[in-house]
Amino acid sequence: MINDTQWPRFQVFVQVKPGQPFLDYGSVHAPDAEMALLNARDVFARRPACVAMWVVPAEGIFSKTAQELKTWDGALSSVPAETREPYYVFAKSKSAGTQTLLGQVEANSPEHALLTALKTYKNNKSAFAWWAFPSRLILSSQEQDIPSLYAPADEKNFRLSSEYKTVTAMREIFEQNQDD
Can residue 157 be called a binding residue for other proteins (CB under 8 A)? no
Measured between alpha carbons, how far is 34 from 17 in angstroms, rounded to an integer? 22
How many residues bind other proteins (CB under 8 A)? The answer is 21
Measured between alpha carbons, how far is 128 from 94 in angstroms, rounded to an integer? 5
Residue numbers 94-153 binding other proteins by CB under 8 A: 147-149, 151-152
> Quick one: CA dihedral 25, 152, 137, 115, positive or negative?
negative
Among 13, 15, 22, 41, binds other proteins (CB under 8 A): 41
Q: What is the DSSP string of 30-77?
A: -SSHHHHHHHHHHHHSSSS--SEEEEEEGGG-EEEEHHHHHH---PPP
Q: Measured from the CB atom, is 76 or 167 closer to other proteins?
A: 167
Q: How far is the CB of 87 from other proteins (least distance, A)?
A: 28
Q: How far is the CB of 148 from other proteins (least distance, A)?
A: 4
Q: How far is the CB of 40 from other proteins (least distance, A)?
A: 8
Q: How far is the CB of 18 from other proteins (least distance, A)?
A: 19
Measured between alpha carbons, how far is 126 from 122 in angstroms, rounded to an integer? 9
- Asked if residue 133 lies in contact with residue 60, where contact means CB atoms within 8 angstroms, the answer is yes
Among 26, 43, 59, 86, binds other proteins (CB under 8 A): 43
- Asked if residue 117 lies in contact with residue 127, where contact means CB atoms within 8 angstroms, the answer is no
Q: How far is the CB of 104 from other proteins (least distance, A)?
A: 29
Q: Which residues bind other proteins (CB under 8 A)?
A: 7, 28-31, 34-35, 38-39, 41-43, 46, 147-149, 151-152, 164-166
